[in-house]
A and B are shown apart, each in its own frame.
Chain A
Amino acid sequence: MSPPTGHDTDAMAAAVSTGWAAHVILACVFGIAIAGIFMGFYDTVTPIGPPGYTDVSHTSTDVDRTNTPQAVVYTDMTGARFGPNSQWQTPWPTQTADPNESYDLAPATPEARDTINAQRAQRRAYSGAPPVVPHAIDQTNAASCLVCHGQGMKIGTVIAPKMSHETYTNCTQCHVESVNRALPPTTGPRAAPTHFQGLEAPGPGERAWPGAPPTMPHTTWMRENCNSCHGNLADNGLRTSHPWRINCVQCHAPSAELDQWQALGADRPPVVISEKATP
């Protein structure tokens, strides 16, 4: 066996280094994979936090760390609950079962109505204004809104109402965050409260006689879908007592007085549509 030439030495060195490199790469791959598993656990799992933990923003700059829940121990993973809905108590199968079974069909009390109206008022400048969004939003992509609000869903006591209007595709055109979680709040004179007094939510609709179906106390413009506020997913106070009746306007008449479309038609001539151009 002749001594290795310089060329062979290089080849051997190359072979050795290839083998060595392969080990290093493999080690790295395994290492990253294992680290990834734990990193993934760390970031995606949120246990039930202490009461009051509602900040779900990942971009927040001023998260109160004392209120931040502890990461879940791996062995407790199967029992841990996911996501920001800390009050999620119910296993998934009951959420997808026949919804009518789980509804409390007791008529709404005035107190319940006041509670829900007060909550709604907090999220609206006036009755009829587009509500602000009480949670963090995707700043660039409106499609993510539809995941929950396309059909509507309820998890525990947290409700994502179905849109009350037909699908418009630029959600953030009308609905903005209630609080911008990425930027510090405004200070100085411009942060002063406003003198604006918004239109309040209407009371219950009028009944022709006790027991008659109430008329709608609000406009139906942008509220074509009654189920959004009055349907199965609604809070007690606005929820219908008879969810199996699905043709709402059969019994509940819209009010012409409240519907600006008709009211204006009476004393304002319609817009003239000029004849079709034929260039």
Chain B
Amino acid sequence: MDMERRDFMKLAAMTAATGLAGSMASRADASTSPPLPEQADIPGVTWDKAPCRFCGTGCHVQVGVKDGKVVAIAGDRQAEVNKGLLCVKGYHVGMILYGQDRLTKPMLRRDGELVPIEWDEAIDIAARRIMEHDKTFGFYISGQSTIPEGYAAQKFMRGGLSSNHLEANARLCMASAVTGFLSTYGVDEPASCYDDLDSCDTLILWGNNPAEMHPILFSRVIDRQARGDKVTIIDIGTRHTRTTERSDHFLQMQGHGDLAIANCIAQQLIEKVAYDHEFVEKYCNFRADRDPAEAFDSLVDHDTYVQHVKQEGHSGLFGKPITFEQYKKLIAYYTPEKCEELSGVPADQLRMLADTFADKSKKIVSLWCMGMNQHTAGTAINNLVHAVHLMSGHWGKPGDGPQSLTGQPAACGTVREVGTLAHALPGGRIVANEDHRTHAEDFWNLPKGRLNPKPGYHTVKMFEQLCTPTDQGGDIDTVWVQVTNPGQTLPNTKKLFKAKAELEDKFLIVSEVYPTATTELADLVLPAAMWVEKNGIYGNSERRTQQWFRMVPPPGEARDDCWQTLAVARRMYELGHPGFKDKDGEYIFRINDEAGNEVPYWQWEHYYDVNVDKHLFDDYRRFTFMKHKNVAPYDELVKHRGMRWPVVETEPGKFRETRWRFVEGADPYVEKGAGVQFYHSSSKDDRAQIWFRPHQFPAEVPDDALPLNLVTGRVIEHWHSGTMTMRVPQLRRAMPGAYAEMNPEDARDRGISNGDIVRITTRRGEIKLPAWINGRAQPQRGHVFVPFFDEASAINDLTIDAIDPFSKQPDYKKAAAEVSRLDQPHPYTEVVQ
């Protein structure tokens, strides 16, 4: 079986090298694409499993392959996540490989034009550029990079270059969830799992629209309702969405209202003495930004404390312990009436929500994703939602607990677990910790001191430095982007990405599958294989690690991202970069065959002689034990539709996954009799932290000149920047472009009717879009919503680049804006163009 597969892969790789050439694409010249093939007669199809390429839910699909092409997709009935069901993106996922303008040839920018070059030259150019600029080089990968890709990049940067300028786009989507978990439980990632959706009585959606963004998970709940189960759905948000349509309660809030809402729940639990005394006393501590006793010897009131923190600053991600009495005094400020004023949610609804938490007989699941994470107080609101679950004891039972969702298929697997962020090392380690660096140096057989203790630049900073002229301190001059599209998805893109166009000495390498806003400014484009054109491993939002095999050859000369990283590494080793030798002088990415001979996998024709994924993954696996995030061995993953870590070997060859972390009986690392044990607690006493986090207003709020709030987001048909889904005709026709979703009264005030082309203006720029009123959803008065999938409407030119102080994640959901008809005078004349 294994040999056959390997032979097939070799064959496929060779076919790829010769056949399918020609669909060399540059945006300006789509006419070089070959004509569409004749309709094929398809008698039989082979099927294999793969996780879906899109969101962080982690559905499994069955991929139907005929004659080296994907021809059909089916929901995988053996997958626990989706049980055979998919969403419309998933059903069409096979089509993303076959857009007419796939990139199939490396391209180098010469005299302003991208011209085709050979792979050897491309790898050599990349290697020499990085070699010369290794301290000013940033590697920007993705929550869609596979675990082996992330691990290769990790070792390339920390081990090879002794540099920490390694980031991933997941910074833009779940960094606040990470800091929320770390500061609450001492270790990252959800403790609960999707099984909770099958037994919860109440589902609370915090700024989340799962009917469109995580439809499989939402259907898991509403299909229960259809079968007669009583599940109450409470939707907290700024827009009336498809999710709201299915909800029992809609708490319509203003931006940052979630902070007030969560604080109000806590205040009510305390005031009504309805919190779970036993759970809090046994398993929780209280925390805040600063110790109130620093400046005051008695209990301090809310306003004085907030003022004090404002003056002194916070004391780090892990804060300072406070007493329950101090917490009570501070939280007392958040009465329902006060919180109505802060959030816009009526006090009665806030009381209803608090009563829901006070009711111990009902099981509650909270879900959240971008609404809470893309937030300049993202860490704070993550802390608060954990806090209300901990305080009320709605924690750690099946169907009862908080569950953070991710937007990308390996945001957890690759970015959080492999640690492809500027401060991190694999397995929950950090570069600042000497012991952790030593672990990595030992695992990788590197000389002591090879790893750099100073964290690198986070995403926003990295691109700010890229876009700043070198003589003005812009000390990033080379960036390699893989599997993501920052030209469209960074906030404030004019400042953080497009400004690079003017800077001659900066060099951008982009590994991509289609032309994008990012390749537009690339100096070197490397055509990439995608999804089932390569081996891969993802990790979803419930700690599930999922493996798949390459099933079809990539088109033209497109090659695996992982191969690209490793080929550049090899070239740098050959050019004599000292970092690519371990302490015994061996190549750091050496892979031996069974006879012990080195496999020259950096030559593309030999890449599939060995399973590079398996080698890298099993190497990485050693890192996962320290924080008890034990991933299963590769061979075990091959047999499963993903396994949820920690996966422990119960007897030789038998592996058991974990559904609820920190819970006795479910988590093998919890001691007998402990009940619940937060064994990575930041306070070293097996307790979680209940945080006091005051309300704060957004970084930019509407004013007289720009009286509306601009919210950006997603739609069901498209995935993120639309690079893939816009090439699927069924999805593109259903959702052909971005739109300005307005409240009908706001539209009426401005004389705007459905379909009118309107101008949206913020302090950073403007775009023109058709208005869609009473369409897919309806924002509340004073809000305007625009999806970001449409490359032709660069809404991120308008968003702010303010970030959360801990997670460094930007806020895409609050920007002061005005919408006007094109024939009306410009609303805001001081706009920086």
Contacts and interface: CB of A to CB of B under 8 A. Distances in A.
A126 to B, nearest CB: 5
Contacts of A263: 47
B657 interface: yes
B35 to A, nearest CB: 10
Nearest to B77: A261
Contact of B776 (A140, A189, A260): A140
Most chain-A Cβ atoms within 10 A of its Cβ — which of B23, B225, B755? B755
A47 B405 CA distance: 50
Contacts of A126: 64, 71-73, 94
A278 B772 CA distance: 50
Interface in A243-260: 260
A200 B42 CA distance: 7
A5 interface: no
B734 A173 contact: no
A269 interface: yes
A180 B776 CA distance: 11
A173 B245 CA distance: 14
A132 B735 CA distance: 12
B37 interface: yes
Contact of A193 (B36, B45, B398): B36
B39 A197 contact: yes
B66 A199 contact: yes
A30 to B, nearest CB: 28
B664 A271 contact: no
Contact of A186 (B47, B79, B726, B777): B726
Given A190-B791, A261-B77, A197 B37 contact: yes
Most chain-B Cβ atoms within 10 A of its Cβ — which of A168, A192, A193, A219? A192
Interface string A116-131: 0000000001111110
A35 interface: no
A243 B556 CA distance: 51
A125 B92 CA distance: 7
Nearest to A132: B730
Nearest to A267: B1
Contacts of B393: none
Contact of B733 (A178, A192, A268, A271): A178
Contact of B95 (A125, A132, A187): A125
B215 A170 contact: yes
A75 interface: no
A271 B78 CA distance: 7
Contacts of B734: 132, 176-180
B84 interface: yes
Nearest to B657: A274
Contact of B659 (A197, A260, A274): A274
A169 B222 contact: yes
Contacts of B49: 264, 268
A196 interface: yes
A59 B659 contact: no
B71 A197 contact: yes
A140 B95 contact: no
A272 interface: yes
Nearest to B69: A197
B735 A180 contact: yes
A140 B37 contact: no
Contacts of B219: 168-170, 173
Contact of A140 (B74, B716, B777): B777
Nearest to B72: A199
A65 interface: no
Contacts of A89: none
Interface stretch (B98-106, B335-343, B485-493): B98-106
Given A261-B78, A271-B641, A176 B792 contact: no
Given A170-B222, A277-B659, A191 B215 contact: no
B27 interface: yes
A128 B88 contact: no
Contact of B40 (A127, A177, A197): A197
Contact of B87 (A167, A173, A198, A222): A173
29 contacts: A126-B71, A128-B64, A128-B73, A129-B91, A130-B91, A139-B776, A140-B241, A141-B245, A169-B223, A170-B219, A172-B88, A174-B87, A183-B737, A184-B737, A185-B737, A186-B726, A190-B722, A190-B732, A192-B100, A197-B39, A197-B69, A199-B64, A222-B84, A269-B640, A271-B79, A271-B80, A272-B656, A274-B656, A277-B663
Interface of A: 59, 61, 125-130, 132, 139-141, 167-170, 172-180, 182-200, 219, 221-222, 260-261, 263-264, 267-275, 277-279
Interface of B: 1, 23, 27, 30, 33, 36-37, 39-42, 45, 47, 49, 62, 64, 66, 69-80, 84-88, 91-92, 94-95, 97-101, 211, 215-216, 218-219, 222-223, 225-226, 241-242, 245-246, 396-398, 515, 639-641, 643, 655-660, 663-666, 675-676, 716-717, 722, 726-737, 739, 754-755, 770, 772, 775-777, 791-792
Given A184-B737, A190-B792, A194-B100, 15 more contacts: A125-B91, A125-B92, A170-B222, A173-B218, A192-B100, A196-B98, A198-B71, A199-B71, A199-B72, A221-B75, A221-B84, A260-B76, A263-B47, A278-B666, A279-B660
